[in-house]
Chains A and B, each alone.
Chain A
């Protein structure tokens, strides 16, 4: 069975601080993992993806994520938060016919 767990439905960080959004997965097949960002009343935009190549993946807008098989994790980080990073973030698991989404994490940036 496929599942994705995002710890923390809401995360608040100060502008300029480290952003860490957590994602753990469970998969019976080799996982392909994605992070998407959603701004209000918009669709999902791909931030980055892991497709079994490098375990440290760099994405757009300064985000990166590290695939750790031993921890079944794919946490999203950004060294320095910007006001424009405020949005909803979804971790998703591919590798079969459907994408399995986490419940999402709303990121708030404190000025």
Chain B
């Protein structure tokens, strides 16, 4: 199956700093990637849809100026948490959609990034 990587897997930062998380599709080109946030013992919450070469589409209630998404190539999307605060601490997961499977919206998930803001 398709492989999606995320880096870093874990990051601890001080309040007020910015953190960048990378999501890469390793063996296919992903025109569309997704960013999710997951709180402990809860389901995934979609934050935004990232389309290569265009602006991301954010879900209602997600601050686009706080969670900057860039999808500059067909294999890389980045999520930058700007001026992070303790309430931004969470597990962030990206996924990528194989264009050949777009009809089903089958997504391949990265391993996640645990962000802890002190």
Interface residues of A (CB under 8 A from B): 32, 34, 36, 41-46, 49, 51, 90, 94-99, 101-104, 106
Could you tell me the distance in whole angstroms from the C-beta of B92 to the nearest C-beta in chain A?
10
Q: Which residues of A contact B6 (CB under 8 A)?
A: 43
Contact: A98 with B43, CB < 8 Å? Answer: no
Contact with B112, one of A34, A43, A51, A95 (Cβ below 8 angstroms): A43
Q: Given A101-B44, A104-B43, are A32 and B104 neighbors across the interface (CB < 8 Å)?
A: yes
Number of A-B contacts (CB under 8 A): 57
**Is B28 engaged at the interface, CB distance under 8 Å to the other chain?**
no
List 27 A-B residue pairs with CB atoms under 8 Å apart, sorted by A's residue number: A32-B104, A32-B105, A34-B106, A36-B109, A41-B91, A41-B114, A42-B111, A42-B112, A43-B6, A43-B93, A43-B109, A43-B111, A46-B1, A49-B104, A49-B106, A51-B106, A90-B44, A94-B104, A94-B106, A97-B105, A98-B46, A98-B105, A99-B46, A102-B43, A103-B42, A104-B43, A106-B41
B window 100-118: CB within 8 A of A: 103-112, 114
Contact A46 B108 (CB under 8 A): yes
Shortest 10 CB-CB distances between A and B: which pairs?
Answer: A94-B105, A43-B109, A44-B109, A32-B104, A43-B111, A43-B112, A103-B43, A101-B43, A94-B104, A104-B43
Closest Cβ of chain B to A60, distance in Å, is 10
Asked if A32 and B112 make an inter-chain contact with CB atoms under 8 angstroms apart, the answer reads no
Q: Which residue of A lies closest to B41 (CB)?
A: A106
Expressed in whole angstroms, the minimum distance between the Cβ of A104 and any Cβ of chain B is 5
User: A34: shortest Cβ distance to chain B, in Å?
Assistant: 7
